[in-house]
Amino acid sequence: MRRSVKYLNGVPRSLRRALHETPVARNLSFLVEDIVRGYCAEASSHRESPQVVTERDYKYKEGQFYHGFQCERVEYIPDFELTSHTLRHKESGLELWYIDRNDTNNVFSINFRTPPEDSTGAAHVLEHLALNGSAKYSVRDPFFKMLNRSVATNMNALTAPDQTVYIFSSRNETDFRNIQRIYLDSVFRPNLLYLDFLQEGWRLEHSHVHDRQSEIIIKGIVYNEMIGIFSENSRLFRKGLMSNLLPELAYKYTAGGDPLEIPNLTHSKLVQYHQKYYHPSNGRIFCYGSFDLMETLEVLNEEYLCDYDSIDTSYSYIPLHSRWSFPRNVHLPCRLVNMGVSKEKQSQIGCALLMCDRTAVQEVFELNVLTELLIRGPNSAFYKGLVDPNFSGGFNRHTGYYFTSRDTYFAVGLQDIRIADFDRFHELFQQTIHKTIIEGFDPKHVESVLHNLELNVRHRRADDGNNILFNSMALWNHGGDVFANLRISEMMGRLRARLRDNKNYLQQKVEQYFLANSHKLTLTMSPDESYSENFRKAEKKLIQQKINELSPEKLSKIYQNGLELEAAQKAKENTNVLPCLSLDDVEEPMGHPQLTEQRIESVPTQLCKVPTNDITYLNCLFNITALSHDDAMLVPLFCSVFKNMGTRKHDFREFDKMILSKTANFDFKLKVVEDVKDGKSYKIGLLMTTYALDKNVKDMFALCEELLLDFELDDTDRLKMLIENYISKLSVGIAVSGHTYAMLCSAALVSDAGKLKSHLLGIDHIDFMKRYTQQNSTEEIRDRLKAIGAKVFSKSNMRVAINTSEAFQPTALEHYRTFLKKLPNLKNMNKRSQLKLFKPSFHHYAVNFPVNYCAKSFFAVPYLHEDHPVLRVLAKLISAKYLLPVVREQNGAYGTGARIGYDGLFHFYSYRDPHSTRTLDVFDKTYEWLAAMSDKLDYQMLFEAKLGVLQLLDWPTAPGEVGMDYFILRVSHEEYCKYRSRVLSVTADEVRSVVDKYFKKEPRHVGKCILGPKSERLAFKLQNA
Ligand SMILES: [Zn+2]
């Protein structure tokens, strides 16, 4: 639903510079929820007193006009050190929210309220089509073409259940103006061509375009995208919950489009939809950062808004839902997950309750805090009530407080549960509510939640501007007060005052919203083995019906249309109409971080002085390469469970409260890091990450010490539950990140390090864990985990990075020394393993998704080899000029690309792909394409590819992440600068030479993988290969 250039989700930002991108569409409501949790603040000492407004000298004055816009409101918001403005364009009625802040990562977004009128996905297809050519920029897919003509830090478009958003951010002002013009032209003057509608939306076409006899099927990017999205059960569940909880409003429809409804959308309906909803009066523009506002206002006023008169937009207004007098139940079938737990245990159940109006800002804030208390961590009421009894795989993905719709709602659910246990869920749900109302909340627990919210507001991110918008986007869309939503200290102050004045304040909220609330939906979902078959049958029937509706002339035109579309896709276009940066715009690399290294208590320690807003960041990396293979295989499980088991001094509930009231929690991750210089060896590391307010750093280290030295695994009932929940979580989300899994699989066929990664992080890990836990008792697993823990946390194999402010560094180091003195010196495990490369091979993972994820990987050269920057530029070139036009535009995959990792593996991948072996053939024919275009390689093509690389190299870094490339990969700032200037100086001859060197002959170490549905044809092909 979302076109995403948000690179590398799940990989620390800093590493994005060295690694490569993974364009996975991130799921909107999770994103919004995650961000919102990070949004509360400024705990202590706030009294509910009248706000004293000091006279400020604002740049823009209320009541004044600027290029047709009247400034309606200006306020300074101390929590974020920003000035917030509302302006309105008088003639067209467009509202503009401008945030003036000393942040170079500027954000611009155009939002329209687009409540769906049915499930044909009009808003979604329009989102695709708008970015597919406009009056001034009349080329196919300028959105994708701009990716390589810009250094944007984010370019995105997304269709939410009630609005459509076009957003980007950039730190380069020329770039910012370029994309701004394209976005404005796209939404206000899109071409909306019929052929583009067929390509992006849906069409009937022969499965083989050139074969008139081949079967007629439905094709189209959005059509395939939605099939891909709903192949993930968690997405079906979420959709089912929202549409059945709000059945009288637009939310009952699927804004992205229901695959069986999309073919009811016509081109003319789409054009009408645009006229109706993309009027400035129905739009909102967000502008954030340090760039001059006047230029934006001038462009808007003179080039776009002057064409419009303000209109009444009450047609797009979404009212509150009427309240039910009785709870309701709904049951849905879903796909059986063949990688998941046994079929009997694959059901889900969830309960949703309608809460308050999204525009009630303080109430939403308080319900957010209440939700944290009810569902987050082992001290929360629903965790104790529903998860602890251990009859499921833990909370499902749709558990939390949701405020993207007009009426907000709370949902809690369990995954991997038996149908026989549905009643038990109901009983326990009710019991939990009653118990909470009677017993109330532990003040220490409340304090830990409030502290964590405060810490999260202090924590600076590199994309603060995007976060501010996402946090307020739904509120703004429904006409709420977005300024109030930023005043977090004030909301926190009011909540604290209420808690002080009324000891039962939170219980009363539980009573009001959970007990006395009959607008309650219980949704259950169970796998149906014929689910996929039923969909295929319904699709067949639909195709037949569509064919029957056609006149003989139109029917015979299907063949012709297919050829026409293909010709249009292959036609050469004049991309010169698109703006592009020049070398002068991007010459300067990022500044030098203030890093020093010293041995403290014999531990190599990297110190970074950086303004952190009173926070200290700690990263400890333990080299565990010397662990046996069997031990290493259990490290991911160890990382997941051991911090949640408590210590010898405190049980897990007590310890969790202590952690959350002093730190931002502890995170443990496994890292397999290849040598970036010679690519001949690798290490395995266990990385611990945490941060705390400076005033809590002493406690943070004391907690580290307790956790690492005194962890306790003896409570086998709890351990058993955590292990089962861990396995349940593994099989969720595979379809969403399918290309990442596919690349892990293909890399596993190239080297032993790749194989290890796949066994520790990929599909193979799921299989391994399922088998391992079936064959071993909890007691046996406990003993193995204990043994691992006893070997790894040692000074002898540890390296540390601390990021803190210059002023606080001496104090932080004092506490750090005390901590190190307590850590033991065990057997030194510092070592590296020699990398082994394998012979070429292929693997097909049969999964029951209706789409494929294809990957091919081969070993080239590691990061610091002189050819690496050239290959990286080449990968961008292959992605933009070869794979996108063929695999996406012509063959209908949602995403595709080529990349080279710091480890030296060169990958090709496709995402939500209707084809399998055909895509692998495209990958294999890369050299033929490269050879054919060799002479046509010009400066502009090369420069665009370089910009694509630069986007990642110059990615903004948050204070807590500065220096992490050096810490993890040992890539210094000097090496980064050298690499960067090498990227900028790559010549066409150099590209030709690496093409000959690495692509001409089939590589010696290559792996191919398809993750997709079972296929007899494929099995046959493999047998005969
Ligand atoms: Zn989409």
Mean pLDDT calculated for residue range 18-43: 28
Ligand 1: centre distance to CA 236 (Å): 17
Per-residue pLDDT, 231: 86
Ligand 1: centre distance to CA 200 (Å): 9
Q: Do 911 and 739 touch, CB atoms closer than 8 A?
A: yes
Per-residue pLDDT, 516: 96
Mean pLDDT calculated for residue range 38-57: 39
Q: Do 407 and 357 touch, CB atoms closer than 8 A?
A: yes
Q: For residue 860, is pLDDT > 90?
A: yes
Q: For residue 469, is pLDDT > 80?
A: yes
Active site residue 21: no
Per-residue pLDDT, 783: 96
Ligand 1: centre distance to CA 124 (Å): 6
Q: For residue 419, is pLDDT > 50?
A: yes
The mean of the pLDDT values for the chain is 90
Per-residue pLDDT, 44: 29
First to last CA, the chain: 37
Q: For residue 691, is pLDDT > 60?
A: yes
Q: Identify the residue with better confidence: 98 or 32.
A: 98
Nearest Cα to Cα of residue 447 among 372, 520, 342: 372
Per-residue pLDDT, 873: 97
Mean pLDDT calculated for residue range 305-316: 95
934-991 confidence digits (pLDDT tens): 999 999 899 999 999 998 898 888 999 999 999 999 999 999 999 999 999 999 999 9
Ligand 1: centre distance to CA 232 (Å): 16
Nearest Cα to Cα of residue 349 among 404, 321, 386: 386
Q: For residue 701, is pLDDT > 80?
A: yes
CA atoms within 13 A of residue 426's CA, in its CB half-sphere: 13
CA atoms within 13 A of residue 807's CA, in its CB half-sphere: 7
Tokens 């509150």 identify what position? 320
Ligand 1: centre distance to CA 164 (Å): 11
Per-residue pLDDT, 9: 33
Q: For residue 17, is pLDDT > 70?
A: no
Q: For residue 26, is pLDDT > 50?
A: no
- Two structure tokens written together for 250: 């637009």
Q: What's the pTM? A: 0.90
Q: For residue 217, is pLDDT > 50?
A: yes
Q: For residue 39, is pLDDT > 80?
A: no
Ligand 1: centre distance to CA 229 (Å): 10
Ligand 1: centre distance to CA 405 (Å): 20
CA atoms within 13 A of residue 629's CA, in its CB half-sphere: 8
Ligand 1: centre distance to CA 348 (Å): 27
Ligand 1: centre distance to CA 249 (Å): 23
Q: Do 755 and 748 touch, CB atoms closer than 8 A?
A: yes
* Ion ligand 1 contact residues with beta carbon within 5 A: 225
Ligand 1: centre distance to CA 291 (Å): 30
Of the pLDDT bands very low, low, confident and very high (cuts 50, 70, 90), residue 6 is: very low
How far is 447 from 109, CA to CA, in rounded Å? Answer: 36
Catalytic residue among 42, 127, 200, 366: 127
Of the pLDDT bands very low, low, confident and very high (cuts 50, 70, 90), residue 587 is: confident
Per-residue pLDDT, 19: 36
- Two structure tokens written together for 383: 């965790």
Per-residue pLDDT, 55: 58
Q: What angle do CA 861, 866, 871 make, to 5 degrees?
A: 60
Nearest Cα to Cα of residue 893 among 260, 23, 305, 12: 23
Q: Considering only 288-292, 419-423, 457-461, which range has the smallest mean pLDDT?
A: 457-461
Per-residue pLDDT, 1019: 67
Per-residue pLDDT, 66: 97
Q: For residue 698, is pLDDT > 60?
A: yes
590-625 confidence digits (pLDDT tens): 788 889 999 999 999 999 999 998 999 999 999 999
Q: Considering only 371-385, 401-415, 883-897, which range has the smallest mean pLDDT?
A: 883-897
